[in-house]
């Protein structure tokens, strides 16, 4: 009961913080309206550039967009889970008016024995506008045919619905909720012996603090609200991951840049299951409760 009450308070706080920018932005617009009516031409443009609001991103028009990036990293970590060893990841996206299509690739080894490779392709179709990003995510692991969503307790194709909200670039506080809709997501019920679909879900709150010289510090707290793949179907509500990431960027040109990153991930759910201190298990990486990652990324925008 205490966990449920805590979860409700976190959701209420998230909604409150997310609504604050709209309130402040609306009041600021009313106060400035009278003064702006007296400005024209170059004076109005200069005044607009002086404005500083939390919702600075939302009034901009969205036309054709594109982007691409390639990353070399030591570990593939996803939502607190070890998902692979050294890898190369790349992505490309196109969009117009907020509607976008993104394709992401991963080629890497499953563990540090370097005996087995684990290719993966993800496709995302979504709409991003006013800080809100809603998208369908299709994950393909190459051990089944494309778009084969037969449900079974193992790895395979997956389909997710994800919703992300970011306040703005001036207040980079983000919230995300993702639910697995189909495919490899189930567990055997102890009483009936039947396979139960879990609808594994994940929620996260994160914040990025930017320092001078294009250095940023990212922190995130993730949970899973019920029995799911994130806890290997062993537990109900659980704190899934605590992430700390330090990043440095260099702008090569207006459309190209370089990014270096170091990350530490702790899985509280894994610690509770182990009933011990943080575990580093290179021979059984799927059950590690602490992970680190170093990455180098080149991106186009």
Residue whose C-alpha is closest to residue 21's, from 56, 46, 48: 56
Answer yes or no: is pLDDT of 51 > 80.
no
Q: What is the dihedral of CA 12, 13, 18, 20, to 10 degrees?
A: 110
Q: Provide the pLDDT for residue 272.
A: 64
Say what percent of the chain tops pLDDT 90: 44
* 173-229: pLDDT as tens digits: 999 999 998 876 888 888 888 888 889 999 999 999 999 999 999 999 999 999 998
Name the band, by pLDDT with cuts 50, 70 and 90, for residue 23.
very low
> What is the pairing mode between strands 173-183 and 290-300?
unpaired
Please, are residues 250 and 256 in contact by the beta-carbon 8 Å criterion?
A: no
Q: pLDDT-derived band of residue 55, with 50, 70 and 90 as boundaries?
A: low
User: Is the confidence at residue 6, as pLDDT, over 70?
Assistant: no
**64 vs 271 pLDDT, higher one:** 64
**Contact status, residue 286 vs residue 273, Cβ threshold 8 Å:** no
In the predicted model, is pLDDT for residue 277 greater than 50?
no
Quick one: pLDDT band at residue 137, thresholds 50, 70, 90?
very high
Mean pLDDT, range 11-30, rounded to an integer: 49
The pLDDT of residue 79 is above 60:
yes
177 forms bridges with which residues in the sheet? 163, 203
d(CA 60, CA 40): 20
Query: What stretch of H or E contains 294?
Result: strand 290-300
Tell me: pLDDT of 30 over 50.
no
How far apart are alpha carbons 111 and 176 in whole angstroms? 29
pLDDT (mean) for 154-158: 68
pTM metric for this prediction: 0.77
Please tell me which of 105-119, 142-156, 256-270 the model is most confident about, judged by mean pLDDT: 256-270
Q: Is 277 helix (H, G, I), strand (E, B) or coil?
A: coil
pLDDT at residue number 283 = 52
Q: Which residue has the higher pLDDT, 114 or 96?
A: 96
Say how far residue 283 (Cα) sits from the centre of its chain. Answer: 27
pLDDT (average), residues 257-281: 75
Distance (Å, rounded) from C-alpha 138 to C-alpha 157?
7
State the burial class of residue 154 (Cβ atoms within 10 Å of its Cβ: 0-12, 13-18, 19+).
exposed
Phi/psi of residue 171, nearest 5 degrees: -135, 80
pLDDT value, residue 102: 97
Secondary structure (DSSP) of 91-121: EEEEEETTEEEEEEEEEEBSSTT---B--EE
Say which residue, 89 or 287, is predicted with more confidence.
89
Mean predicted confidence (pLDDT) in 257-285: 72
Comparison of pLDDT for 74 and 142, the residue scoring more:
74
Of residues 176, 242, 230, the one with CA closest to residue 198: 230
Indicate the average pLDDT of the chain.
Answer: 79
Q: To 5 degrees, how large is the angle CA 13–CA 17–CA 21?
A: 165
């Amino acid at each position: 009961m205490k966990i449920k009450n805590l979860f409700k308070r976190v959701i209420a706080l998230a909604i409150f913080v997310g609504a604050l920018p709209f309130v402040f932005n609306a009041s600021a617009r009313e106060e400035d309206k009278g003064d702006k009516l007296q400005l024209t031409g170059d004076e109005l443009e200069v005044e607009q550039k002086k404005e500083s609001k939390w919702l600075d991103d939302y009034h901009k028009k969205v036309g054709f967009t594109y982007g691409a990036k390639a990353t070399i990293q030591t570990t593939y970590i996803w939502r607190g889970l070890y998902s692979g060893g050294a890898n190369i990841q790349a992505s490309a996206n196109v969009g117009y008016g907020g509607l976008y299509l993104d394709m992401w690739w991963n080629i890497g080894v499953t563990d540090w024995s370097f005996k087995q490779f684990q290719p993966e392709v993800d496709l995302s179709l979504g709409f991003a506008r006013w800080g809100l990003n809603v998208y369908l995510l299709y994950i393909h692991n190459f051990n089944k045919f494309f778009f084969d969503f037969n449900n079974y307790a193992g790895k395979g194709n997956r389909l997710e619905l994800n919703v992300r909200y970011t306040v703005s670039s001036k207040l980079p506080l983000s919230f995300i909720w993702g639910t697995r809709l189909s495919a490899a997501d189930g567990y055997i019920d102890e009483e009936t012996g039947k396979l139960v679909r879990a609808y594994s879900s994940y929620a996260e709150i994160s914040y990025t603090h930017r320092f001078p010289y294009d250095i940023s510090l990212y922190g995130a707290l993730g949970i899973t609200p019920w029995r799911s793949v994130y806890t290997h179907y062993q537990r109900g509500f659980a704190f899934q991951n605590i992430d700390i990431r330090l990043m440095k960027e260099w702008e090569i040109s207006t459309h190209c840049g370089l990014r270096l990153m170091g990350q530490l991930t702790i899985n509280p759910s894994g610690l509770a299951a182990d009933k011990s201190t943080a575990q580093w298990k290179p021979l059984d990486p799927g059950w590690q409760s602490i992970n680190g990652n170093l990455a180098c990324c080149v991106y186009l925008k």
